[in-house]
Chains A and B, each alone.
Chain A
Amino acid sequence: RKEVEQDPGPFNVPEGATVAFNCTYSNSASQSFFWYRQDCRKEPKLLMSVYSSGNEDGRFTAQLNRASQYISLLIRDSKLSDSATYLCVVNPLTGGYNKLIFGAGTRLAVHP
């Protein structure tokens, strides 16, 4: 089983749509979880951290279900500028070391 698994997409949605991405991770001892955004051939950029209580940042909502080892990202009112690849990222923090494990990403294309 892959350490971090995501649906590769692409998700093609019209502007204004709501879209949800899911991710599962294999290491039940993982400590920290993130969503990163990556534009084509660019560096990953932190979108938001993911907490068990769920967290929201504007149009973006992230949820974590530790029991199911499942992470989600919801984007409301999609904009053209949201078109990118969304990376689910887990930090196992094993041994206290900081090492991010990236999923392969889910591509989102928002069209007019």
Chain B
Amino acid sequence: EPEVTQTPSHQVTQMGQEVILRCVPISNHLYFYWYRQILGQKVEFLVSFYNNEISEKSEIFDDQFSVERPDGSNFTLKIRSTKLEDSAMYFCASSEIGSIEKLFFGSGTQLSVL
């Protein structure tokens, strides 16, 4: 079964550093998303991306965050200057045009900001 892959599985960084989280969505999917889950809390929407542009973003997704699809396969989330409160599990997801509501999630990247 096709799957969304995320790298790395764990990322440790110092506060103020830039991090890039990488995702390879399922190949025929056209909608891409980032969600995050702080330990012990609910899964929260960050951003959706379609046709090479952001479709919608949440209040969490401020100027420190950006997304990019640098080539035909990767989808990245960049945090420019990490804060302690950015520590969370970040999930990438994708969906196909005929079934946009059915999201397939990657296994996540655990980001720890020290």
Contact = CB atoms under 8 A, between A and B. Distances in A.
Contacts of B45: 99-101
Interface in B79-112: 89, 91, 95, 100-103, 105-108, 110
Nearest to A43: B105
B48 interface: yes
Contact of A103 (B42, B56, B108): B42
Interface in A79-102: 87, 91, 95, 97-102
Given A41-B89, A43-B105, A44-B105, A99 B42 contact: no
B55 interface: yes
A105 B43 CA distance: 9
B105 A91 contact: no
Contacts of A19: none
A102 B58 CA distance: 13
Nearest to A45: B105
Contacts of A44: 43, 91, 105
Contact of B101 (A32, A101, A105): A32
Interface in A21-47: 32, 34, 38, 41-46
Given A41-B89, A103-B42, A105-B42, A98 B95 contact: yes
B78 to A, nearest CB: 21
A104 interface: yes
A105 B100 CA distance: 23
Interface of A: 32, 34, 38, 41-46, 49, 87, 91, 95, 97-105
Interface of B: 31, 33, 35, 41-45, 48, 55-56, 58, 89, 91, 95, 100-103, 105-108, 110
Given A43-B106, A98-B101, A100-B103, 17 more contacts: A34-B101, A38-B43, A41-B110, A42-B108, A43-B91, A44-B105, A45-B105, A46-B103, A87-B42, A97-B55, A98-B33, A98-B48, A98-B95, A100-B43, A102-B42, A104-B41, A104-B42
